[in-house]
């Protein structure tokens, strides 16, 4: 049994034990001397024979009077205590919760109440019932006024503004609880006797309200938690006065949760011992689980944090430690410097026993990377640390705004819901996305680590420094960070051409798959309540946001765009901004260089409408040099019901910056830009000769697809076959992606994309191969369970064979000096090997099996780094169960996070359904597979044709468990739902999906809606186009 499970078996901690422990810490040994101590002792009885009868009557009457007075006094005292402390909705304050931190803050939550006498319990019950009755009366009064009470509204009332938080925490890592005292300085904008702020899943011990700089407090009538909107309500006896400042003090406690949000715990094993740490994840709405706060982005304030913990741990937060106070009992309190103005969801802290390495930027920013001691010792964080220093310097120069804090800590944790979180000054990364061992990490892994770090560092400006006003514009930070992943990586590795090339396959092509669904949504979408917030964090916000920013940068000109961003950050630093603030600033930047474009008018069409257009360019047979350009919304399934029935596809219209060029067998003209703003337009194109072809969306800078008449497609295919280098690398990749997706949606015959990729045998650039591989993948999954799959398989192998032989296999001698020079060539070789092994090239299979066998027999892994994942997967799929067990053993024994990831994924490649079922069941054991990795296991099994139905069945059977674990975590549920369902393609599977959704209507509605549309489109394609494709393939293979 694991250590964490053993902890559950120990005797429960009682409030009495906690109070005794607190008393011992304070140096006391029992009740202090005084009247209460005397009252607790036994009293001698009076002898009755010395009392006369009439004296007994007088005495009885006196005792009655005294008793009545005593009861009255007790009632008054209880009333005063109730008014000042405010019983929370989950019960009255516990012993020790009298308003002083020394008692309440040291008591862990979740341990119940001390046993009381029946009359005390009855009194408490009466008070709670009276409070509940009072709350119901007030709610009825609001209903009569036809208004929601302030605590029942989806957004916080606007009558208060927090100015400063003073937060003192005590972390009890031995039983995973914490306690806190928060003092919030409030500014009153409108008079009200209600204070409403967020608090969730915590026990409130005490609450007080006082006017600043004046003696005495404001009487608290009552207070309660309102779980429906995750708020804590303080009802006062009088209204707070406008333009006055007040202090709100709340003492509370809560659990350090065993989950992935709020203040949660994680663990790792070092020298056979399991060690624990506590870390926070507050974005978007989980700061309220760690302290009562105004948990909306607009409520920026300053924060002063103190963390008390055992001296065997260290604590981290957004700012550096100012002072540390050590106690005799082995505890220490770290007091951190005050933060700048910031939103609650960027606040962060951690309690751990990690070690670190550090570096310093040119401007004096101290950068540290904290991780497990063994990882630091191995130097696994050195790469991340060094590029972080360089990237801070790059961003400071690009934005002309200095990094705002004195330090930046990078924290590598074993368990985290996301790749990383950009907390200001304390960015948290899951280990797989920041730790890198050069001796066993591939170029692909290095690229992943690099881009995650580039993304999070961009957030220190876009997000931390300038924060979106509300969640509807989350793309303002996520879109920019995603775009700068490619710009920043180009700074580190100029030869990789990330922004001009890799952006296309990894961002543009990927998000257009999602945004081509009728169930998509605008990049800026309305957010009314907390339950709506999670759904805005998806690839539309991240990747479409980035693609629109890239389009904007290209039609503005990069230097003008950069100047506009500098102005935007300077104007809005330490504050909030909305999309119109960005548009206005960029329009002004254009005006300064003599250009007049209304950025808001153009970009509102792209951000407030869902989807994207397909531009169709047709030659005009009646007039020379004139073409017809039309636009329409692109959708994969024309039968799919639109999300908004009132807005049909014909209602969509965009202002489109269409770049266009004319080419022939040896030359292509310079590009011209045409702004297309109508459904259909005629344009004259000079030098458009009989043998010339047209090419639209040069280098794919625009967020749209381009279709042509069949004649132009034939000319382009002929050009690629004869002399493909006339067309740019980016456009070659774009033609492949557009053709496959236009055919999948029914805009083009099914053979056109397959004819285009025939030229690949001569293609020596990585990007078109990568585009082809990614475009073939969904087609492969549509066909991999059909009777005639071998025909498709054979056609692809023919296109790959010559390049596979030409490139060969890599040797295992990659090192740092080779990474930059060989990136394009090594990634091309990797892509071709992956295609060859995936589609069954015999030599590729033999090579993989030989490398695996050599590893097993010699116990030395000589498999080249850049193809290890391909070899592992191929070996597991081809070889016997012993190989699976060997990989399983290596997964458990390795400590390198990059290796652990690809070993786990390789286990999903087996053809053995028993092994796949075994792996699925093991995936939910957190001791075996980390929580964030379990989703990847299920999805990879679903991608395996031998495991697709197993994963689909497992998903349905375990949905309640999966939804409970991942339901609140951004991306995770939608990623899981999409990954398990996206390649279902039979009528029966579609029925199963719809029936399942009917059974479990709660949660993830948007994700399930997309899933149904995707499967419906798959079924439709099978019905309409599958046979057409196979007929062409049969004919092609016989020639």
DSSP track, 692-735: -EEEESGGG-SSSEEEE-HHHHHHHHHHHHHHGGGS-HHHHHHH
Evaluate if residue 16 carries a pLDDT over 70: no
Average pLDDT over residues 942-964: 94
Confidence of residue 215 (pLDDT cuts 50, 70, 90): low
Average pLDDT over residues 842-864: 96
Looking at 89-93, 514-518, 907-911, which range is the least confident one? 89-93
Average pLDDT over residues 466-493: 97
pLDDT of residue 969: 67
DSSP 238: E
Helix (H/G/I), strand (E/B), else coil: 245: strand
CA atoms within 13 A on the CB side of 660: 26
**395 CB contacts (<8 Å, ≥6 apart)?**
403, 457, 458, 460, 461, 488
Evaluate whether 90 touches 203 at the Cβ level (below 8 Å): yes
pLDDT of residue 90: 39
> pLDDT for 112-151, tens place per residue?
333 344 454 455 555 556 666 667 777 777 777 778 899 9
pLDDT of residue 44: 35
Our CA angle for 208, 209, 210, nearest 5°, is 120
Confidence of residue 6 (pLDDT cuts 50, 70, 90): very low
Instruction: State the residue for tokens 């004096």.
Output: 364
Evaluate whether 656 touches 677 at the Cβ level (below 8 Å): yes
Evaluate whether 286 touches 330 at the Cβ level (below 8 Å): no
Nearest to 784 by CA among 738, 744, 739, 839: 839
Which tops the pLDDT comparison, 115 or 368? 368
Extract the tokens encoding 353: 């026993």
Nearest to 981 by CA among 1017, 1013, 1016, 1011: 1011
pLDDT of residue 217: 85
d(CA 433, CA 443): 13
Looking at 448-457, 766-775, 959-968, which range is the least confident one? 959-968
Average pLDDT over residues 643-672: 85
Concerning whether 121 is annotated as a catalytic residue, the answer is no
Evaluate if residue 888 carries a pLDDT over 50: yes
pLDDT of residue 649: 59
Q: What is the 3-state secondary structure (H, E, C) of 763-823?
A: CCCHHHHHHHHHHHHHHHHHHCCCCCHHHHHHHHHHHHHHHHHHHCCCCCCCCHHHHHHHH
Average pLDDT over residues 461-490: 97
pLDDT of residue 622: 64
Average pLDDT over residues 970-992: 91
Average pLDDT over residues 925-949: 93
The size of the chain, in residues, is 1039
Evaluate whether 1021 touches 987 at the Cβ level (below 8 Å): no
Confidence of residue 896 (pLDDT cuts 50, 70, 90): confident
> pLDDT for 145-189, tens place per residue?
778 899 999 999 999 999 999 999 999 999 999 999 999 999 999
pLDDT of residue 62: 52
Helix (H/G/I), strand (E/B), else coil: 376: helix
Q: What is the largest CA-CA distance in the chain?
A: 133
Evaluate if residue 642 carries a pLDDT over 50: yes
CA 24 to centroid of chain Cα atoms? 43
CB atoms within 10 A of CB 999: 8
**853 CB contacts (<8 Å, ≥6 apart)?**
none
> pLDDT for 442-468, tens place per residue?
889 999 999 999 999 999 999 999 999
Confidence of residue 648 (pLDDT cuts 50, 70, 90): low
d(CA 457, CA 480): 11
* % of the chain surpassing 90 pLDDT: 73
d(CA 192, CA 923): 51
d(CA 349, CA 342): 15
Average pLDDT over residues 935-955: 96
Torsion of CA 13, 15, 17, 21, to 10 degrees: 110
pLDDT of residue 441: 87
Evaluate if residue 370 carries a pLDDT over 90: yes
Strands in 422-561 per DSSP E: 426-430, 466-468
Exposed/middle/buried for residue 606 (C-beta within 10 Å: 0-12, 13-18, 19+): buried
pLDDT of residue 1003: 62
- Listing from the earlier edge strand, what are the strands of the sheet with 262-270? 262-270, 273-281, 349-352, 314-317
Confidence of residue 93 (pLDDT cuts 50, 70, 90): very low
Could you say which of 456, 478, 763, 899 is catalytic? 456
pLDDT of residue 54: 43
Nearest to 355 by CA among 379, 321, 333: 379
Q: Alpha carbon of 71 to those of 36, 67, 85, 87, 119: distances in Å?
A: 17, 6, 21, 21, 13
Q: Is the peptide bond before 528 cis (omega within 30 degrees of 0)?
A: no
Extract the tokens encoding 272: 């056979």
Extract the tokens encoding 975: 């990623």
d(CA 165, CA 349): 15
Evaluate if residue 645 carries a pLDDT over 80: no
Element (H, E) at 246: strand 245-255
> pLDDT for 236-281, tens place per residue?
999 999 989 999 999 999 999 998 899 999 999 888 899 999 999 9
Evaluate if residue 557 carries a pLDDT over 70: yes
Evaluate whether 414 touches 396 at the Cβ level (below 8 Å): no
Evaluate whether 278 touches 315 at the Cβ level (below 8 Å): no
d(CA 852, CA 883): 8
Evaluate if residue 619 carries a pLDDT over 90: no
pLDDT of residue 495: 87
Average pLDDT over residues 810-839: 79
- Listing from the earlier edge strand, what are the strands of the sheet with 220-226? 192-198, 231-240, 220-226
* % of the chain surpassing 70 pLDDT: 83
DSSP 260: S
> pLDDT for 383-395, tens place per residue?
999 999 999 999 9
For β-strands 680-684 and 466-468, DSSP reports them as unpaired
pLDDT of residue 42: 33
Average pLDDT over residues 74-90: 42
d(CA 699, CA 26): 70
> pLDDT for 982-1025, tens place per residue?
999 999 999 999 999 998 766 667 889 999 999 999 999 999 99
Evaluate if residue 43 carries a pLDDT over 60: no
> pLDDT for 684-743, tens place per residue?
988 788 889 999 999 999 999 999 999 999 999 999 999 999 999 999 999 999 999 999
> pLDDT for 627-638, tens place per residue?
999 999 999 988
Query: pTM (2 decimals)?
Result: 0.85
> pLDDT for 409-435, tens place per residue?
999 999 888 999 999 999 999 999 999
Evaluate whether 474 touches 583 at the Cβ level (below 8 Å): no
pLDDT, the chain, mean: 86
């Amino acid at each position: 049994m694991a250590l964490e499970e053993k902890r559950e078996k120990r005797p429960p901690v009682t409030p009495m034990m906690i109070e005794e422990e607190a008393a011992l810490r304070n140096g006391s040994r029992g009740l202090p001397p005084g009247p209460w101590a005397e009252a607790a002792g036994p009293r001698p009885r009076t002898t009755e024979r010395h009392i006369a009868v009439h004296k007994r009557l007088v005495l009885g009457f006196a005792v009655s009077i005294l008793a009545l007075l005593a009861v009255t006094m007790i009632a008054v005292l209880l009333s005063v205590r109730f008014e000042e402390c405010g019983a929370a909705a989950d019960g009255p304050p516990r012993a020790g919760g009298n308003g002083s931190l020394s008692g309440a803050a040291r008591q862990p939550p979740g341990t119940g109440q001390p046993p009381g006498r029946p009359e005390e319990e009855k009194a408490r019950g009466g008070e709670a019932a009276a409070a509940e009755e009072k709350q119901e009366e007030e709610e009825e009064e609001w209903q009569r006024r036809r208004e929601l009470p302030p605590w029942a509204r989806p957004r916080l009332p606007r009558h208060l503004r927090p100015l400063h938080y003073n937060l003192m925490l005590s972390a009890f890592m031995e039983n995973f609880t914490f306690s806190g005292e928060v003092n919030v300085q409030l500014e009153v904008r409108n008079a009200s006797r209600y204070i409403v702020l967020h608090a969730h899943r915590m026990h409130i011990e005490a609450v007080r309200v006082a006017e600043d700089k004046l003696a005495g407090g404001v009487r608290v009538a009552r207070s309660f938690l309102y779980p429906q909107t995750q708020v804590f309500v303080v009802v006062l006896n009088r209204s707070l006065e406008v333009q006055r400042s007040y202090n709100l003090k709340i003492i509370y406690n809560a659990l350090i949760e065993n989950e992935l949000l709020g203040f949660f715990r994680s663990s790792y094993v070092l020298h056979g011992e399991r060690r624990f740490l506590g870390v926070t994840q507050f974005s978007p709405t989980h700061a309220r689980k760690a302290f009562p706060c105004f948990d909306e982005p607009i409520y920026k304030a300053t924060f002063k944090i103190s963390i008390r913990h055992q001296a065997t741990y260290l604590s981290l937060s957004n700012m550096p430690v100012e002072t540390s106070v050590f106690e005799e009992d082995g505890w220490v309190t770290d007091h951190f410097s005050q933060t700048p103005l910031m939103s609650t969801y960027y606040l962060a802290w951690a309690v751990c026993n990690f070690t670190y390495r550090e570096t310093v930027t040119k401007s004096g920013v101290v950068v540290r990377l904290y991780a497990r001691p063994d990882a630091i010792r191995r130097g696994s964080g050195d790469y991340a640390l060094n590029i972080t220093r360089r990237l801070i310097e790059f961003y400071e120069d690009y934005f002309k705004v200095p990094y705002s804090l004195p330090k930046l800590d990078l924290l590598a944790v074993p368990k985290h819901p996301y790749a990383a979180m950009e907390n200001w000054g304390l960015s948290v990364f899951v280990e797989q996305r920041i730790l890198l061992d050069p001796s066993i990490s591939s170029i692909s892994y290095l690229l992943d680590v690099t881009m995650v770090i580039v993304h999070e560092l961009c957030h220190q400006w876009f997000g931390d420094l300038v924060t979106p006003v509300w969640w509807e514009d989350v793309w303002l930070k996520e879109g920019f960070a995603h775009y700068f992943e490619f710009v920043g990586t180009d700074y580190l590795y100029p030869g990789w051409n990330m922004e001009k090339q890799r952006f296309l396959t990894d961002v543009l092509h990927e998000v257009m798959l999602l945004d081509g669904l009728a169930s998509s949504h605008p990049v800026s979408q309305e957010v009314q309540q907390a339950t709506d917030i999670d759904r805005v964090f998806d690839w539309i916000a991240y990747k479409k946001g980035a693609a629109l920013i890239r389009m904007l940068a290209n039609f503005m000109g990069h230097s003008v765009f950069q100047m506009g961003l500098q102005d935007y950050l300077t104007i809005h630093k330490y504050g909030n901004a909305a999309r119109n603030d960005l548009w206005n600033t960029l329009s002004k930047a254009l005006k300064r260089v003599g250009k007049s474009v209304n950025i808001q008018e153009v970009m509102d069409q792209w951000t407030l409408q869902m989807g994207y257009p397909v531009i169709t360019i047709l030659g005009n047979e009646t007039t020379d040099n004139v073409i017809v350009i039309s636009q329409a919304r692109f959708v994969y399934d024309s039968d799919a019901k639109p999300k908004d029935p009132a807005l049909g596809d014909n209602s969509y219209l965009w202002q489109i910056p269409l770049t266009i060029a004319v080419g022939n067998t040896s030359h292509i003209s310079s590009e011209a830009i045409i702004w297309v703003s109508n459904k259909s337009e005629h344009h004259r194109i000079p030098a458009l000769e009989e043998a010339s072809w047209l090419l639209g969306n040069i280098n794919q800078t625009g967020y749209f697809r381009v279709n042509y008449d069949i004649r132009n497609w034939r000319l382009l295919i002929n050009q690629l076959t004869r002399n493909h280098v006339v067309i740019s690398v980016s456009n070659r990749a774009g033609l492949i992606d557009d053709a496959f997706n236009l055919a999948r949606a029914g805009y083009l015959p099914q053979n056109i994309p397959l004819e285009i990729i025939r030229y690949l045998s001569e293609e020596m650039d990585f990007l078109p191969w990568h585009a082809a591989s990614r475009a073939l993948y969904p087609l492969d999954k549509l066909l991999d369970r059909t009777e005639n799959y071998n025909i498709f398989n054979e056609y692809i192998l023919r296109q790959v064979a010559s390049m596979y032989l030409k490139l060969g296999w890599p040797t295992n001698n990659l090192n740092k000096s080779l990474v930059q020079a060989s990136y394009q060539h090594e990634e091309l070789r990797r892509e071709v090997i992956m295609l060859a092994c995936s589609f069954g090239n015999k030599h590729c299979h033999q090579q993989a099996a030989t490398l695996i066998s050599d590893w097993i027999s010699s116990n030395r892994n000589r498999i080249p780094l850049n193809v290890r994942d391909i070899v592992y997967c191929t070996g597991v799929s081809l070889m016997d169960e012993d190989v699976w067990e060997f990989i399983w053993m290596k997964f458990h024994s390795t400590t390198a996070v990059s290796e652990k990831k690809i070993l786990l994924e390789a286990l999903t490649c087996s053809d053995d359904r028993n092994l796949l079922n075994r792996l699925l069941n093991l995936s939910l054991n957190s001791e075996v597979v980390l929580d964030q990795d379990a989703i990847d296991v299920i999805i990879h099994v679903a991608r395996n044709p031998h495991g697709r139905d197993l994963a689909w069945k497992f998903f349905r059977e375990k949905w309640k468990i999966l939804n409970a674990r991942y339901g609140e975590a951004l991306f995770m549920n939608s990623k899981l739902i999409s990954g398990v369902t996206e390649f279902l393609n039979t009528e029966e599977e579609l029925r199963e999906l719809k029936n399942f959704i009917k059974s479990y209507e709660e949660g993830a509605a948007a994700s399930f809606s997309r899933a149904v549309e995707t499967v419906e489109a798959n079924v439709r394609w099978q019905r309409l186009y599958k046979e057409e494709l196979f007929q062409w393939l049969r004919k092609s293979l016989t020639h």
